């Protein structure tokens, strides 16, 4: 009888130990965003900004000096963080033209985001997935071409980027890296120019801040 009681206690201890370990593992699986003032509350606008967004096509490259994506944080300290955007801006000052991005073959271009609002989901695996109402899309209007066929519209079902989270208590700056994300030409879009490549790939590095400064992430 003693052996049975001892075995029962041992089993109970093992179960309790597993429960504690599982609980600890679960606690470590959440992402927490911080800024210089502390944990960022839901409803805060945080902004991802890039100065090196590049679109690579078979016909040449397009580069924007500034890409800005404001987003509202829907919740914090979760295994999946969601942000929503109702605006996105891509602009430069190529050839002194306000808002124009540079293209290597077709001169200055104005970029307009399409398919807003966009939602961005961050997971503990270090992946950021951006999606649109239907697709993530944008239109480039080439100022050096005569209208009406002076535009290229591109879209992707999602845009994936990667980030690295610091350990609990040691947050790291939240930075996204987008590498060779493919976009397809929307061939049926109005005013499509004959110069449009059927596909392009976008790469960029993004720094993230809110009104209090640099956003950091820990897990």
What is residue 28's predicted lDDT score, i.e. its pLDDT? 53
pTM: 0.85
pLDDT for residue 25 is more than 90:
no
Q: In 177-199, which positions are buried (b, 16+ CB within 10 angstroms) versus exposed (e)?
A: ebeebebebbeebeebbebbbee
Nearest CA to 217 out of 176, 160, 162, 164 is that of 164
Give 141-151 pLDDT, tens digit per residue. Answer: 999 999 899 99
pLDDT for residue 16 is more than 50:
no
Give 78-104 pLDDT, tens digit per residue. Answer: 999 999 999 999 999 999 999 999 998
Give 130-180 pLDDT, tens digit per residue. Answer: 999 999 999 999 999 998 999 999 999 999 999 999 999 999 999 999 999
Identify the weakest region by mean pLDDT among 37-41, 144-148, 182-186, 198-202.
144-148
């Amino acid at each position: 009888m003693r052996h049975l009681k001892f075995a029962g206690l041992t089993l109970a201890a093992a179960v309790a130990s597993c429960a504690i370990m599982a609980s600890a593992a679960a606690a470590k699986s959440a992402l927490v965003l911080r800024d210089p003032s502390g944990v960022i509350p839901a409803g805060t606008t945080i902004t991802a900004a890039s100065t090196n967004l590049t679109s690579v096509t078979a016909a040449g490259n397009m580069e924007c000096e500034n890409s800005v994506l404001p987003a509202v944080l829907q919740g914090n300290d979760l295994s999946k963080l969601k942000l929503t955007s109702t605006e996105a801006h891509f602009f430069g000052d190529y050839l002194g033209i306000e808002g124009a991005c540079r293209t290597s073959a077709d001169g200055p271009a104005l970029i307009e985001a399409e398919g807003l609002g966009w939602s961005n989901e961050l997971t503990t695996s270090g992946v950021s997935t951006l999606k649109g109402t239907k697709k993530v899309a944008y239109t480039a209007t080439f100022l050096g071409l005569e209208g009406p066929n002076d535009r290229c519209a591109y879209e992707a079902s999602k845009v994936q980027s990667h980030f690295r989270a610091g350990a609990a208590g040691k947050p790291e700056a939240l930075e996204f890296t987008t590498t060779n994300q493919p976009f397809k030409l929307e061939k049926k879009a109005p005013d499509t120019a004959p110069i449009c490549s059927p596909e392009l790939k976008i790469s960029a590095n993004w720094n993230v801040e809110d009104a209090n400064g640099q956003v950091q992430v820990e897990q």
